[in-house]
Structure 1
Amino acid sequence: MSDRPNKGELLAAAEETLRDEVLPALEGSAKYAALMVAAAIATARREIETGHDAARRTLDAYAELYGHDNVHRSGGTADERINALSRDLAHEIRAGTYDADLLGPVFGVLETQVVERLGLSNPRFLTSSGYSQPGAE
């Protein structure tokens, strides 16, 4: 059984149709709304294409900070673990835990999260800024 077109291909087709056929016919607030929809479709498509790679890179960065066992015990799904670990790290930063050493693994975690989020929302910024990101356009 073939799953063609797949989710990513369907989103790519919808994005292309919206940008190439619908947007040129719109003006004003309707055009702005359609641009936001196209951007949301593009982000969703990149999330699907990236799969678990972005979460894996983020969890690896947390493992550098907290150790693999603590990362594994922090939640169920990768997203749940990342959310729990992010809350813990934010609390620790506010408490001053890392004031003397923000450039070590803490910086690695924060940089990884920013790069992963930009890779989904604005990959062109990453490439124009000299960051390398798997899957970045």
Structure 2
Amino acid sequence: MSNRPHGNELLTVARRVLLDDLLPLLPTDKTYDVLMIANAMAISARELQRQGERDEHGDHAISRFYEQIGVSPAAESTEQALAAQIRSRAIAANHQGQLHALLLSLTRAKLALSNPKYLA
């Protein structure tokens, strides 16, 4: 058990100071660099928050997919193992719709961390 503030909270505060207090003091040719750093900080904060809430959504979704199509995974139910099965064409053609839905769900979960504005 760690005490607060947590890493994601520290990053959020540091990002706010960077944008609100430091950015206005810097030359305008540094604006892009500061915004890029602030974006990286926001992504990292979301990832840390998600890690704290870790529910292993992706691995569970992959396990459910294997159960639905009646296939035993070649390895554990991870994205890497699923990718290997896709590359080896181990997923039958009649399950492509379900595979597409799974991949879309996994991609949306990643976008929620890396670029939540894109989903809106």
Structure 2 residues without counterparts, runs of 5 or longer: none
Map Cα deviations across residues 90-122 of structure 1 (whole Å, 9 max, x no partner). 232233333332111x22331222111111111
Instruction: State how 1:1-137 maps to structure 2 within 5 Å.
Output: 3-26=3-26, 27-28=28-29, 30-51=30-51, 53=53, 56-67=56-67, 74=76, 85-98=78-91, 99-104=93-98, 106-126=99-119, 128=120
SS at match of 1:51: helix
Q: Distance in 1 between matches of 2:31 and 2:80?
A: 37
Q: Distance in 2 between matches of 1:2 and 1:89?
A: 34
Q: Distance in 1 between matches of 2:13 and 2:7?
A: 10
Identity, in percent, stands at 30
In structure 1, what residue type is equivalent to 2:97?
L
> Alpha carbons of 1:103 and 1:116: their partners in 2 closer, same or farther (altered >3 Å)?
same
SS at match of 2:56: helix
> Alpha carbons of 1:119 and 1:2: their partners in 2 closer, same or farther (altered >3 Å)?
closer
Report the structure number with the largest CA radius of gyration.
2
SS at match of 1:3: coil
Structure 1 residues without counterparts, runs of 5 or longer: 75-80, 129-137
Pairwise CA RMSD: 2.7
Q: Shift of residue 60 of structure 1?
A: 1.5
TM-score normalised per structure 2: 0.74
> Alpha carbons of 1:5 and 1:21: their partners in 2 closer, same or farther (altered >3 Å)?
same
**Who is 1:77 aligned against?**
none
> Alpha carbons of 1:19 and 1:88: their partners in 2 closer, same or farther (altered >3 Å)?
same
CA contact (8 A) 1:12 1:42 kept: yes
